[in-house]
Structure 1
Amino acid sequence: MNLPPHFTKTVTSTFTGGAEWLTHLPNLLAECERRWDLTVQPTNFTLSYNYVAPATLADGTEIVLKVGVPNRELRTEIEALRLYAGRGCVRLLDADPEQGVLLLARLHPGEMLTTLTDDDEATRIAALAMQTLWWQLPAEHNFPSVADWGDGLAELREAFGGGTGPFEGRLVDTAVSLFTDLLASSDEPVLLHGDLHHYNILSSSDGWQVIDPKGVVGEPAYEVGALLRNPIATIFDEPDLKGITARRLDILAETLSIDRERMRQWSLAQAVLSVWWSYEDGGDSADWELTMRLANVLLEVS
């Protein structure tokens, strides 16, 4: 298969057995075609951690096939999609968690929220999308918590012998302190998307729909961090990033009725955690340096 170099690098650097999985990928796709009587088409989607391609069922229904190295995150995505059952989120048609396979409804026209040029409007749409996904947790579930994710900051310290390596010590210290304080005073936890931003909100015949939920347990104020860091391809070219970030926080606070300062603090802590994840996954320094820039902005926003 003629796979994008960035995709192969991400899979091999992120997942144990990633190189072997890539070798087996053509066989896995063929197995999916036989099992579900579908035809996989050449992909025209941007690939990151999973292989995603359009496909057609035997009756002509257009779907999306998503396959990835089997891991906890894919399993919790499947669990979240089953709970959402198509309400505000793309519908899961079938899945095999052990094989890392998801069959998803195809959204049309399927354009990302990045197509909107009015940032205020996009922020409001994202806020409304968030609200549709904040579900009461079932009695039994396998979702990680925000506290589990926050443990990554301890791993950062351990990786650098108690220091912060290439990351600004002031920001890491602030993030650790914020995680501790915010977790201790959190509101009632709900099911969050966990990575809700412009690239994961698509247009459809039923309005804007969300894709790729991580599925994480935490208070709603935690959810906005990913949105503030995106769209990563353009937001950091804005001459007044501080002003835009402040305006977004204003809109989110008004639309969601959530304390603005609490969202700012969570977003700062989450930005530093995101930087560590990028570094840990072998990401380019140019990517996490941009995110650290936003962390500094969030430190200064009033």
Structure 2
Amino acid sequence: MMHLPATFRQNIVGVHRQKGENWLSGLEELIAYCERRWSCVVQRDHDYPLSYNFVAPVRFQDGRPAVIKLGVPSGEIHLEVTALRHYNGNGAVRLLEADEERGILILEKLSPGATLKSVKDDEEATLIAADVMKKMRRPAPDNGSLPSVGRWAEGLSRFRADFGGGTGPLPEQMVAKAEKLYAELLSSASRLQLLHGDLHHDNILSSERGPWLAIDPKGLIGEPEYEVISFLMNHLPEQGVPEAIRRRVDIFAKRLDLNTERIYGWAYCHAVLSASWHVEDRTGGEKGAIELAKVFERSLTG
């Protein structure tokens, strides 16, 4: 029987409850199905990290290497497949095969496959991320197949509803400001594009084809300024966080022709939204998100 990390099992059940339990029970059978359907061999023992999806190397009968990604069938699987099809390999990993109903994706194998965290110089890493974003730029699909930033923003209303109109452990003033600023930015938004939605260091891998390519898109429609936020909020130094964020923002603004004030505005809103997600998922990460929101807020006001 295949060994799965306890944390992986906990993540799957924590998010999907009984549906997750059932999916884990049928995972071996699902892998065997994939091997039959696509004439491939899935490597059970590997060192790929497992968090919320089963990911493993795979080799087709003709010798081609690939990566298989299996997840509990959900809307997120559909959005990832939709986004990858729109990117069609431009700045992002190629989607080779998919079965959305079963939660199956077979992806191009990126080699050497190091994450952008392997680049120790923060300025260099930010420039690389900017170049990846530039390659991925696409007009927003007009068929309604992907959610908008506005739909994400509605998460704050749902969060309030969960707390009877209040904001639970989050500061009322911050949530109210995020709601107001979201409305202002959404009403004045232009240049809507297809966005990755979660483009940070761990989702940018080295590749002989790339030289750097994005993986794991959320699939989102919004302004290009929104795309840089995940990168701003991740892999920050222990000291000098405001300065590091400011340097990153300056690079993105110049390299991608972005509006600095709108970057900080969207970033503040998203940091508060992210804090609400942490509360809902009981991760304990809301404090860090709130601290980042304060950094973004100071940049907005002065």
Report the equivalent of 1:220: 224
- Show CA shifts across 1:62-95 (max 9, x none): 1100010111111111011112111111011110
State the Cα distance separating 1:170 from its structure 2 match: 2.5
Moved more, 138-147 or 19-28: 138-147
Distance 1:297 1:4 in 2: 36
Moved more, 140-149 or 151-160: 140-149
State the Cα distance separating 1:134 from its structure 2 match: 2.1
SS in 2 for 1:54: strand
State the Cα distance separating 1:99 from its structure 2 match: 0.6
Distance 2:99 2:21 in 1: 21
Q: Please say if 1:163 is aligned against 2:166.
A: yes
State the Cα distance separating 1:15 from its structure 2 match: 2.2
Q: Please say if 1:4 is aligned against 2:2.
A: no
SS in 2 for 1:98: helix
Q: Please say if 1:95 is aligned against 2:93.
A: no
The 5-angstrom pairing of residues 20-31 of structure 1 reads: 20-31=22-33
What are structure 2's unaligned runs of at least 5 residues?
none
Q: Is the 8 A contact 1:43 1:52 kept in 2?
A: no
The 5-angstrom pairing of residues 39-58 of structure 1 reads: 39-41=41-43, 42-58=45-61
Equivalent residue letter for 1:245: I
Report the equivalent of 1:114: 117
Report the equivalent of 2:183: 180
Report the equivalent of 2:213: 209
The 5-angstrom pairing of residues 135-174 of structure 1 reads: 135-174=138-177
Distance 1:120 1:249 in 2: 11
Q: Please say if 1:76 is aligned against 2:79.
A: yes
Q: 1:279 to 1:6 in 2, by over 3 A?
A: farther
Distance 1:67 1:295 in 2: 34
State the Cα distance separating 1:11 from its structure 2 match: 1.5
State the Cα distance separating 1:141 from its structure 2 match: 4.3
% same residue? 44
State the Cα distance separating 1:256 from its structure 2 match: 1.1
Q: 1:86 aligns with which of 65, 89, 104?
A: 89
SS in 2 for 1:271: helix
Q: Is the 8 A contact 1:144 1:216 kept in 2?
A: yes
Distance 1:225 1:111 in 2: 22
TM-score normalised according to structure 2 size: 0.94
Q: Please say if 1:274 is aligned against 2:274.
A: yes
SS in 1 for 2:228: helix
Distance 1:139 1:249 in 2: 29
Q: How many residues align structurally?
A: 296
Q: 2:34 aligns with which of 32, 35, 47?
A: 32
Q: Please say if 1:128 is aligned against 2:128.
A: no
Q: Is the 8 A contact 2:141 2:194 kept in 1?
A: no
Q: Is the 8 A contact 2:204 2:212 kept in 1?
A: yes
SS in 2 for 1:175: helix
Report the equivalent of 2:294: 296
Runs of 4+ that moved beyond 6 A: none
State the Cα distance separating 1:171 from its structure 2 match: 2.0
SS in 1 for 2:101: coil
Q: Is the 8 A contact 1:10 1:281 kept in 2?
A: no
Q: 1:25 to 1:279 in 2, by over 3 A?
A: farther
Superposed CA RMSD:
1.4
What are structure 1's unaligned runs of at least 5 residues?
none
State the Cα distance separating 1:288 from its structure 2 match: 2.7
State the Cα distance separating 1:279 from its structure 2 match: 2.6
- Show CA shifts across 1:2-35 (max 9, x none): 2222222222122251121111111111111111
- Show CA shifts across 1:138-178 (max 9, x none): 34241111111111010111111111111122221221111
- Show CA shifts across 1:117-150 (max 9, x none): 1101111111111122221133424111111111
SS in 2 for 1:60: coil
Moved more, 130-139 or 171-180: 130-139
Moved more, 88-97 or 171-180: 171-180
State the Cα distance separating 1:252 from its structure 2 match: 1.1
